[in-house]
Structure formats: structure tokens, C-alpha cells
Amino acid sequence: MTQHPTGALRHDRRAAPLLLLALGLLLSACSSAPLAPKAASDRSDPPELGACYRLAPEDVESPSNDDEPVACGTEHTAQTFAIGTLPDSTGDGYDDRGHGKWIYPRCEAAFEKFLGVDESLAMRIQLSWAWFRPSEDAWDDGARWYRCDLVGGTTESAAYRALPDPAKGLFRAKPPEEWLTCATGATVLGSTKVPCSEEHDWRAVTTIKLGDEGDPYPGERLTQVRTRDFCSDSVGAWMNYPVDYEFGFTWFKQGEWQAGNRRSICWAKTDR
């Protein structure tokens, strides 16, 4: 009895369709694998209002941000207090200056409302805000959202401090000393800004408004003179008119004026 030479061939022909079927299933499984999630700034939907983040000063130097939110009950240095959509009137270009000019008064007003501060106190606290827009790729795809974030520091901060939870309404009762602005140094201009809960030589006590939106810049000399004269009287009143007292003041130049700042700050020489 001789084995039929085609027996093995018949076996191979039956196996081939099974092999192709298995390969097809494998390819199907690969093609249905979920895509990687988009980065935060690449998404078309705006970020969540009230979301908390762990941001550092270098993060706010970028127009967009890809940090994912963290639980607000855990340590965080930033919280979103306003979201919205940039209007077409601010410009089509990603870096058009009209975006920042439009956003400044809106984020500033929302910042003050969120914390429970007025325009004067908002300039004398150890908190500030930053805003973000979509990435350039998302912008090219039509995304126009923005988010305004409270951050635990100022433009002079080397690092941000952890925010309290909740931060909303932080100043509606007695302003917390740890978030008020004081300074150490022989003069205000050469001082280091610190929370008023720490040892200090100066305290920011009042501000003076030097103009309204749309007003032309009054010039550096007039700004200094008006600020000095106001602060002399204002600080004296704050200190209950002592026989002798020292005061200082800080003012802002034309660039800050054009960005929307219209106030100078008065400082009292005091360790209290």
C-alpha cells in the first residue's frame, strides 16, 4: 500500500483559508483599537469651569496649556473661574493682539467677582490670573474657546503656592493676611514682595485710579506726580494721621496702561 502523494496537499489547502481568516481577524482587531485621546489644548470643546490644575509660572507663558485637571480637594495652584468664546472681532490670526485686549477686562472682572475683591484690592493681593486658548492646530480647525485661571502667585512669583479649597469668595469676609501683599526692603522699588503674614517693612494699603478705558496715557511724569500726591494723603489717613510717617508708591508705564491697568499702588512703611 502506497500513501497517496496528494494527501498532504489537500491538508494544506484546508489550512490556508483558516490562516487567512485568522489574519483578517487580527487586522480587524488592530483597526478597531481606540485612538489616543487628544491633548487638552487640541480639543474643540472648552475646558470645564471650576477645574483645578497644578500649574507653574512657566506654564502661563504659553498661549495654550495641556495639563489635565486634578481634584480640587488635592493640592493645586490654579483654578478655572471663567470660560467662553472669543468673538470674530478680535482677529483671525492666532497671535492677534486683539484677543488679549478683549479678554483683559472680562477675565479681570470675573477674577474680582470670583474672589470677592474690588478693583483696588485686586491689585494688592498675592493672587493673579492667566488665560489660555486652543492650540494652533485646534485654532486652525475652528476652535475659539478661552479659559481664565486663578493662580497662586503674581507675575513676580518664582513659584505658585497651593490655593485654598474653596478659593471662591476668599475675600468676602476678612481678607486673609497670607494672601495680602507686603514687602521687605529699605525702599518699595527695591523690595521683595511677600505675604503680609510674613515679616515685612511695607504694606500695600490703597490704590489710585488714573484714568478710564479709552483714555490716553497721561505720561510717566504726570503719573508719578499724581500718584505721589494721592498716596501722601491716603497713607496718612490709613495710619490715622501720625506726626511722622513714611510712604511709597509704585506706578505703571505705558505698556501696562495699554494692557488695561489704570491704577498705581500706595505703600505704608509699617511692620503691621
Q: What are phi and psi of 4, to 5 degrees?
A: -70, 125
Q: What does the alpha-carbon distance between residue 111 and residue 146 come to, in Å, rounded to a whole number?
A: 14
Q: How far is CA 16 from the centre of its chain?
A: 62
pLDDT digits (tens, 9 = 90+) for 148-172: 999 999 999 999 999 999 999 999 9
Question: Angle CA(133)–CA(134)–CA(140) in degrees, nearest 5?
Answer: 125
Q: What does the alpha-carbon distance between residue 37 and residue 12 come to, in Å, rounded to a whole number?
A: 44
- Dihedral sign (CA 198, 202, 206, 209): negative
pTM: 0.83
Establish how many alpha carbons lie within 13 A of residue 41's alpha carbon, considering only the half-sphere containing its beta carbon: 16
The cell for 152 is 497662586
Please report the pLDDT score of residue 17 as a whole number. Answer: 46
Please report the pLDDT score of residue 6 as a whole number. Answer: 39
The residue assigned the cell 497713607 is: 235
Please report the pLDDT score of residue 214 as a whole number. Answer: 86
The cell for 144 is 475659539
Three state DSSP letters for 42-99: HCCCCCCCCCEECCCHHHHHCCCCCCCCECCCCCCCEEEEEEEECCHHHCCCCCCHHH
Please report the pLDDT score of residue 33 as a whole number. Answer: 55
The answer to whether 152 and 164 are in contact (CB under 8 A) is no
Radius of gyration of the chain (CA): 29
Please report the pLDDT score of residue 32 as a whole number. Answer: 54
Strand order in the sheet with 181-184: 192-195, 181-184, 202-209, 263-269, 247-250
Please report the pLDDT score of residue 165 as a whole number. Answer: 94
Q: What does the alpha-carbon distance between residue 64 and residue 160 come to, in Å, rounded to a whole number?
A: 18
Query: Residue ranges of the chain with pLDDT lower than 50?
Result: 1-29
How many H helices and E strands in the chain?
A: 6, 9
Three state DSSP letters for 135-195: CHHHHHCCCCEEEEEEECCCCCCCCCCCCCCCCCCCCCCCCCHHHEEEEECCCCCCCEEEE
